[in-house]
Amino acid sequence: MEKTRHFKELIVWQKAHQFVLKIYKLTKHFPKEELFGLTSQLRRSAVSVPGNIAEGYRKRTIPDKAKFLNTAQGSLDESHYYLILAHDLEYADTADLQADLEEIARLLNAYYTAVNSQR
């Protein structure tokens, strides 16, 4: 299945990495009192997505790979909630990021399915 030699070649990782960069730009403008609250939580959950994709990439067994991809999926859902919260608190317009998140979710689900089909 994997014809890539490095996790950076995975489209899902590339999109997730770009998502993280956008999250950092967005959260720079959050209220200062959110630095250790929503700002930190959103950044950490977003960073976890490409981080877990990268970590799972080199795992030797399918269950290990799947575990890290599943964690990435959970972190993506966590990020989704924090974007909803940021929007509802009127900290930012998150529509573009929500669209990015949906694309990453689709790609990540396809990658997870492909990995699991090797069992």
Q: CA-to-CA distance for 1 and 26, rounded, in angstroms? A: 36
Stretch 89-101: mean pLDDT, rounded? 97
State the pLDDT at residue 27.
Answer: 98
This prediction has a pTM of: 0.94
Q: CA-to-CA distance for 26 and 94, rounded, in angstroms? A: 9
Is residue 1's pLDDT more than 60? no
Q: CA-to-CA distance for 39 and 33, rounded, in angstroms? A: 9
Superfamily covering domain 8-116: 23S rRNA-intervening sequence (1.20.1440.60)
Asked if residues 60 and 31 have their Cβ atoms less than 8 Å apart, the reply is no
The ranges assigned to domains in the chain are: 8-116
Residues 68-78: tens digit of each pLDDT: 999 999 999 99
Residues 28-61: tens digit of each pLDDT: 999 999 999 999 999 999 999 999 999 999 999 9
